[in-house]
Structure formats: C-alpha cells, structure tokens
Structure 1
C-alpha cells in the first residue's frame, strides 16, 4: 500500500485529489506525477447525501490517502484521468495529524523565538492557513513548538502553546542544524489561479525531531503572577515555611521553571508586583509555624532599621508591656538552651578527636585503593593504545578495499577493450560467409550449453526440493484444497466443485474456465496453484501467460527460431523455460511434481491457431508426445504438464472451435451477488509446500480404479442423453465417451454422492456434452426441451439449469441456441 499527502482542489464544479508527497519508510519523497494521469489528480465523483458534508471534501484541505497501485489501476478512467467515488475516497483517507505530521510555519521578519514573550499575543498576518491542527513555528535558526492556532477576525492567525510538558506554558526549541531528517518542502499550489500559487509549505514528522536544545517560556505577566501564587500556596503545605520565598524560586529545576521565568519572577518581586500575593500568604506560610515566627523575630532584632520601623507600630499596641515581658522570659529560656548546646558541642569535639585516631587505618585502606585505581588507569591507557592500532588497521583495510575496487575497475575496462577489439576483428572478416556462419554456430552452441546448465538446475525432484507435501491420496487432496480455499481464500465453493476442478486438471491436458468477466476465473486458478505450492521460488512450477489480441501462431505464444543468430528467440520466457525443464525431466523419467501453465483470457485470439502445436498432445496415451519448434529445438512433453485457460463470454472474444471443445474440459463459472456486510477481503494466504504428482496420478491413471464399474443407473441415464443428441444427428466422439467414463470411475470416493448418485455424471455431461450445443430453429428448441426432461432438476440439476439458460437466451436471440451464448 502507498500513502500520500494529498491536497483537495476545487475546480469549477469538481473536487480533485492532488497527491503532493509520498510517505516511504518514515520519510517523504516527491510524487511520481505520471501515476495520476496528465493532470496529476484523481477526480472525486458521486458527492451527494451525507458525504457532501464530509470535512475531507473541502477546498485546500490536506489529507493522508492510502491506496495500492492495483487499486489505483482499477479506478474508472476518464479523458482527464482517474475517478473515485466519494464514499470510497473517504474510506481511504485520514487526518494529516494522525500520522504524526506537523506543518512548520516560517515566521515573517521580526518574529523570533527569543522575543516570543513580546509578540505571543499578537496576530500574525501574511501566512497561509495551517494544514495541521498542531504546528511548529520557525525563524532563521530554530524550530519551536508545538502550537495550536485560531483564525482572528482580521484574517490573521494567533498561536497558543500546545502543552507537552508538566508546565502548560513551556515549549521546546530545536536548532535547525540538529535535524538529521530534513524538513520537507512542497509547492502550496500548482495552478497560477490558486490563492497560494508560488508559495511553499514545510512539514516534519514528530518521530524525526532532534534532541531539544532549550525551552521557551510562553507565559504572560498575568499568568506568571497566578503561577507564583500557586507555587507559594504549594510551598505552604509542603515546606512548612522552612525556606524563604526566594529560595523556592531559585531552586526550582529547569524542567519546572525556565531561567527566563525565574528571572521574571524575581524582577516582579523587586518591583513589588508580588506584594499582594506574599502578604496574603504570610498567615499560612509564616505566622502559623513556630520556627518561622522565631526566625522572623530574630531577623528583626538583628537589623536596627527593621527595629526602628517596627518599634512605633508595636508601641501603639495595648499589650506592648506584656509582650516585652514575654520576650524577656523567652530570651532567658533561649540562653539556657544555648548553654546546653555549647556543652553538647564540646562533647562532640572530644569524640571527634578520638575518631581521628581510629580513621588512620581507613586512610591506609584508601591509599591502597588509590594504587589499585592507578593500575587500572594504566591498563586503560594500554587499551587506548590498542584501540589506536585497530583504527590504523581499519584504515589499511579501507585502503586495500579501495585498491581492490580500482583493480576491479581496471578489469572491467580491459574486458570492454577486449570486447571492442573482438568486434573490430569480427567486422574485418565478417564478409567471409563461412567464417561468419561458424562463429554464429559456435556462439549459438555456447548459449545453448549455458541454457542446458540453467535448465538442469531447475529440474525438481524429491531429492532436490526442500519442502514438499506428503499428500498422495485424492480424497485428502480435495479436502485440503477445499479447506484452504474457503478459510484463507475466502471463496464460496463446494467440496464437489473443488473435486471437479482437480479431476479435470488430472485427467485433461487442457481445462477451460468459462464465464462472464469478473466471475473470479483467474483468481481461482491462481489460488489453487498457490495452495498446491506450484509458485515455489527456486523450483517454480506455475507460469501465467496473458494472451493478447491478434495472436496467430506459436511465434506469439512461444517464440521463433532466428536464423541469423542460429538461436531461439522466446516471446514468452516462462513457457519456453517450462518446456526446457519438462523436456529434461522426461528424458530422465522424472515425474515428481506437476507443472501448470495458465492462458489468461485465452479467447482474445483464436486459440486453436496459436495453441495448434499442443492440440495433438491432449491424448495422454499417444506415443512419443513431443513438440518441434524448429531445428535443434525439439522437446519431449512430460505427463506432468497441464494447461489451464480462462475465457470470457463477451463480444470482444473469439469462439472456441469444435476441435478444441472435443479435447478440453469446459468448466462454467457463474457470478455471485454478495451482500456488502458478508464480503470479506482476502489477505495473503501465505506459502505452501509443493504438492506431489502422485495425487494427480491416482486420479488420472486407470490402474488405480480399473476394477470399478459404472452403476447401471448412470449408464442408462447417459445412454438416454446420448439418444437425444442422436435424434438431431449429433454423435459423441470416442474421445468424449472415454473422458466421461474415466471421469465417473475416478470420482468414486472423491465426490460426495450421499444426496445424488448422478452427481459425477451431472458434472461430466455439463462440461463435455453440453458445450457442443450450437443450433437454431424450432426443431432445435424441441430437442432442448426433450434433453431438459432427461436432465431433470432432481438427478442432473447443473445440466438442467444450463439447458434452461440456453433456451432462455436462444429465445431472445431469434431461436439461436448456443452453450457459449453471450
């Protein structure tokens, strides 16, 4: 999936999506405009109902669009480019902020991070409307933020700090020189008529921010005073007035209070701006605590200026004398406490002298520890010397590597010179036909020998393949494939349908899946191939070929022999490589694993023309099955090779010839209408071990079921159907009869026949007999009515439904009845 930063543009009556940047591995790159048509945009269609009010469909709105290349290719194409429905578009977009992306807004001159306190409340004009809810601002040297923003009445913008720390007014500042990942830049508009044409936007990812270089304090004076009030109130509870207010401010760590805020608080305190807050807090901070009260009294007594100012105030109090007496009493008490403390100090000094004598042994211990540390320091110096030597050796290694690269470059230059000399020598005698022919032949032989070695390495055997499945029983194979198709592949398919496909693949050289476009033919084959483990990396056993209009011969399907180079030029290297590998396996009697080739949309061209070389190989009992492409390019065809083909029933395709229908199994797929709530998106089903050919061999080869016989009821039913066709002059070929018989015999034990014993015959007749229906007129209509009676709804429901469909389409088409009716 690809993720794009996209802009919504409103042109005339249309809203267009313009991807501007692509998010790859955590960073942004410019969008490849060629992916989005000649205008580089996708048009949003079907904007009505609730989606018309979506915030994601607004002019100049930026979104994050998630869409895969396959989804992009599947969009409806118009003459201006691709088109996506509004509901689909809304399901694929998210807000830009949700990806951790922030816009960086470059400030006009005069606005810097150092002067934020001066302009923080101002309106900033002449900037574009931000594209993210949270933004960063930048000046020439730094990026700082994050900020939220709002539009002012005069069309400008006001930015407020977006709290990221414990303090809601503190933001981070980053130096532009510290960014390892870039700040990405893109054009704000593409069209000259757009409002922001000629201007640029800048974005960054939160993940790519460097270490912050400093903090910026965004608080104003009013907020600062409120902050100090809260701080003093908290100190009243936690410190119990044991420290002074100034200490509380000075000692706060930088994470709690920046140096800038600390200086502003102290300045406010000097100017008396904090007097009210301090006076209001004196009762709770000072007077309610005895220790603080005594400290205040001592400060007043020690300072004569304080005494002179305080004395007139105190003297006017009515209880002045009693206060003086109380102070005298407390003074005597404090003097007594002082004497006691002096005695305690003397005792401690005496005890300290004794400890000095005891600590001499500890000093000696510390000296020995110092010596040990000195020895470790010397060892560390030796280590540093060794590190220097290692650094020098690394330098020598780098020099050696450079010399090697230089010699390698010289080698390449010499190779080029030699090649040039050979070409010159060749041109000097190219006129000699004999020599030229010999040289071309030798070159072709050399290339052929290289291809043989490559082919031998691709031969898959039980000894060379590391991981292969141990399933060899057909019943186990059907159960396994059905389980994986329904659970992981999310396909609504019955077990009998899976058994039918596997039997057709095992018994038929060519199996055709027919149906209208979109019925899931190609994806079903691809899923089955994956479950069988055929796309096996080193030993690939699955090739998918997209047939094109106008193919007429093997030259289009496989390639052609070039007489000038005396080599085979493959037009489809996958099929050519498969033929080479299977030829090598046939020579060595290796049939361990199946090989499947898919011809996708096979009837875009006349299939019996470009596939003519394989028509005669459909019978496995034919002796010496081989294909000759040209001189020296003859390939034996292994029994493990199977062709699958998908065909569409529409007016752009070719019809299948009777010769091809006679040789192939035709499996008809019908489209299903799935409710949106029941629809499940299939994820990657993973890798599977390679299936052995043994399971297919047990279905194909008669020795595994030759002792079984067809039930009389099945034989009678088939003969009645056969008589219906004979009545209008159509006889079944021995090939068709043989294929139906083998199908019914091998299906015993594989099909679930608990509800219908004719189940296998129903599938076989549908796929081998009904495809030959092709006629018109009233008589043919009567024939089909009789055939529908024999293929009744209870015993042959699939045939009944198909005949009913043929009659219905034929009646609408002037009584022209055809199995492949479009």
Structure 2
C-alpha cells in the first residue's frame, strides 16, 4: 500500500537555480489548472505571460510557472507522500478508536493494527504520524494537547524540505504539489507538457559522489534506454560474470579490461553473498543482458575501485572507463559533465520527425495513421483483409519500441466473437477465490500508467468480430471523459491477481496509451455504431498498386523495421501532448478557410441528421495542428481538409437515396472546389463519395464501410 519515503527512486532531483527553465503552459492545460485552483482556493488568473495570481482564503500569492517545473521534479515523492495523507484523512481521522491509539502512541492496539494488510504498512504509517526524522522531514502529526495537524500542512512542509526551497513566500508550492497529487491524471499531463518543452525531467541528473552509486546511476539509465544494446559489441559473457571489455577500443580506453568485474551471474558466489564487513558486494537490482539472442541474469557489483569520484584518475578508473564508453556509444542522447567537482548526466531529447521514418512508412496511409494517433489516442484502420492494417500498426509500434522491466511498450490482441462484455479487456473480480482475474490488456495499461513519458500502443485486431459497444463502451467513454473506470468494489483490502500483483479498485486511462482498432469488412463482421465512429479517425487502407507489385522484384520481408533512436519515442508522446493541449501553429488565415468550409457543409449535414458537434470541430483542429507539425513546409490545407472529410465526416453517413442522395451530391460539389479556391480538388473524398454513390445506385443503400 505505502512506499518507503526514503527510497532513492522517490527522491526529487537536485535543482540548480541557473538551470530552472522558463515554462509556458498551453491554454487547454491552463484551463484545467484554473479549474483545480477554483475547486481548492478562490481563484487563479494569469496576469502576465508566465505568472499568475492565486486568491486564497487569507490573501493572494504570485504564482510563477517555474513552480510547475518544481512540482514535476518532485512528482514521485509527492504521489507516494499523498497516499499517507489520503489514507489518514479518509480511514483514520474520523475513527475515534483509531485516533485514541494514535494519541496514546499505542500502535499495537487492534483498532490501529486492523487497518493494515501488512506489518510494513503499519510501521510506515507510524513513522509518518510521529514525524520520524529518518523517514520524513517535518513535525509530528499529533500536536501538543493531542490536536491533530492538517495533513496538507504536513505534506507541504515535507515537500518544501525535500525541494530545499529557501524563500518563505514559496510555501504555497506545497499546496500546489498537494493539489496535483490529488489529481494524478492532471499531474501526468503536466509532466508530459513540461517534458515536451524542456530537457528538465531527465536532462540534468546530479550523479552521486560515491563511485559505486555513481556507476549504478549511469548503468541504470543506459539500461533503461536500450538494455545495453548500444554497447553489446563490448560485452563478454563469462562463467560467473558479464564484463565490459575495454580492449581494442582504438585508443578510447587503455588495454586491461578495467570493467572486468562489472556484473556477476547467479553462478558466482557474490550474487547472493555479503562480504565479511557486512557490506553487500552486489546491488539488489537484477538486469537481463541479451547477447547473441540469449539472456543472462546479472547483478551490478559494488566493488568499483575508489570511493569518491573526486579522487585521482587511478582511484576511479573503472568509473572513468564507463563514462568514456557512454561518451562513445550514447553521445546522441547522453552526455556526462563535471561541474565544480560534481558529475551531471545530461539527456538530449530528440524531436519526432516524419522525415526520419523508415521506408515502410513511405505512404499516404501511414502518414494519415500517424497524424491521427497524434490527434487522438483512438484510431480505426479499415479495409479488406490483407491490405496491411495490422502490419502498419505493428511496424509503427516497433519503430517506437521501448523495453522497461523486460516488457515492451506495444501489444497486439486479437478480438474474438466471444467478447460480449468488458471482462475480456479489463478482467473481473472472482469472489470465490478473492482474486482479480486480470488480462494482458489491463496489465499493459497498468504498465503504461507507471511510465507516463513513454508511449504505449495497444492494437485490437479485427475489432468488429464482436459488437464493439458491448466490450468497448466503458473504455471509449473513459477516453472522452477522463473519468476513472471501476474494476471492482469489495472490502478495503488490496485485491491481487493470480500472480499476487495488486490491482487498483479503479483506473484512469493514461495519456500515453494509444489504441488502434483494425476492421475487416465482410459478411462475418459487425458494423460500427455512429457513436464509435464519431470518437475516432477512420483511415481506410487501400494498398497502392505499385507498392504491391514491387514485392515481386523487391524484398519480401515487409515486417522488418528498425527501432528509432533513443529519445524519439519520448519525442512522439511530447508532440501528442502538445497537440492535444491546444498548441496549433496553423496560421489564423488558414484556420479561417477551414472554418468557412465546415460552415458551408454544416446545414446540408444537419438536414440529413449527420451534423457534427463540438468534439468533431475540436478534433479536426487538432488534426490540422498535427499535420502542420509533421509536414512542416509541405503542409497543405486542402489535402488536410480532404483527409478530415474522408476520416471524420463521411464515415458517419449512411442510408438510402432519400436520406443521403442529395447530401452526397452537395459534398461532391464542395470537394471539387477545394478549400482555398478552385486550384485543388479533395481527391480522397471525391473518390469515396463516388464509390458511395455507385453503391447507392446498385443497392439503393450506401455507407462508408
């Protein structure tokens, strides 16, 4: 339930005043922050470009956007700390028997003991309440005279102590972080927004002064990036160890295998043992190192020559060798710098560019698919069987693949005809065994929640083999509303799945989750309702003749896609967050042309019952923003409007000649004129309208699919 507040993984990053960046917040996120402060305080209003004022019950506070940066820097610690505050306020404060135990410091009393599932949780809460200085900063929760302090005040003092904010007027920072910790989805969105503007989140990491801890911090980071793939040519597997061979580096490092004791394997006596001084000789963390398609379990040894990294080169030569290796093999994304005797790890994030994509994505369909993903996290790919829908979704996932804790960030799940409710997606609680029966999809979502700055791609293959609304309606609604999805409601005890993993009572779909549904159209499948079509971009796949015939003379392996460089996956999610938060670099004159075109077709659509609403207009604007960012100088207004007509407007149109005959004629006429005059037609839309009209003539009925 509770995390150890002393865990190194939770501690806020060290802040260097000169490196605190200027932060701008897009209008969409600013409105959400405005709503948060309106709920918690009296008002929040922007008064200058990056400064706002918060009106509290007692006074007002000038609020700099840099505070949002500080809030993101302490996010992990804040969310762990909030769990204590929330539990105390909701499960303990109003219970007289429990509070009597707390005031008497009787932590063996049954009223207190029965609140918790484990001894660790009881002990952690005891330390939190008593203000144990080795557990958290700040005062005892129980004041003199047995008065109970506000958890929000305790929270604020802990955060300020951890962040080492010197100015007393900055005490309101504690309130800001508290309000954000109450709203994990907004906190995630803020983190992604800020990481998209700066290199804050990872770029300036202060490395420990102790050699072995510094080495572990560096090793952990490069393992997180690519599981040592970039240095695999330097890795040698021995009977009891895995070493980094520094020989034959063309002068980069001296000969001598300086890193020969870097990792130990289970066959080594060091793997589980301790030295005579009771200091562990290996770190607890296990790594899976892949060499020649085999995986080897290892632990990083603590036996690094030297103690402090400020010692002479001979004293820390192992570490210096590691730093040089990082400089050689990870220079595109990492740089280790020394400033005033302190080492910092600088991370270079990379922009997601359409021009960097491999040849597999050199098609109009692929570009439309990627633009749609950036616009909204749910895209439908439709077309005949074998046209490459699943392949393009899989290839894009592979291109942005990241592996964290041995699990990759994409999942393809075939939908079955027996998907009659949401249990196939999100599982269910089994009361007979008091266990939650999880699913690969739920496990995948929980993994995405833990890693908000990495994109996660879920592909539902052949989505319409069952009625989509029966199993997907909760999911779809949660995507739109940002509301939580309840998974179960039983006792206050933590529910676990078959593998003893804790399952939360409810989940909120993370912003870094991208869902693609593939759809085959034939007599064995079900059609989509207007509700589903209205909430996605529908990209129809029709392979180009040249691409198909080229397989005769070209390579048959159409599934081979190289992984993007380090930082590109994060760049993709940063771009998506920016677009969904309202950033749009399409000029106002161009947007006026878009508005005029939509206005010209609205009445005809309304008369036939297919008018679009606020959601559609918002998503069309976001699509234009995404296309503008991806295409840069090649951005074309008419072509982008053409894509949105065929992906957002036409999919909802269906009926007989009386219902849609005249409407199709009107849309055809509008699309022939283009959006900026008579210079360019909307070819995609015209082709689809012609196809629908032919069906109408032949069958007296037509629909998009």
Taking structure 1 as the reference length, the TM-score comes to: 0.39
Q: Which has the larger radius of gyration?
A: 1
Which structure's relative contact order is higher, taking Cα pairs within 8 Å and 6+ residues apart? 2
Taking structure 2 as the reference length, the TM-score comes to: 0.45
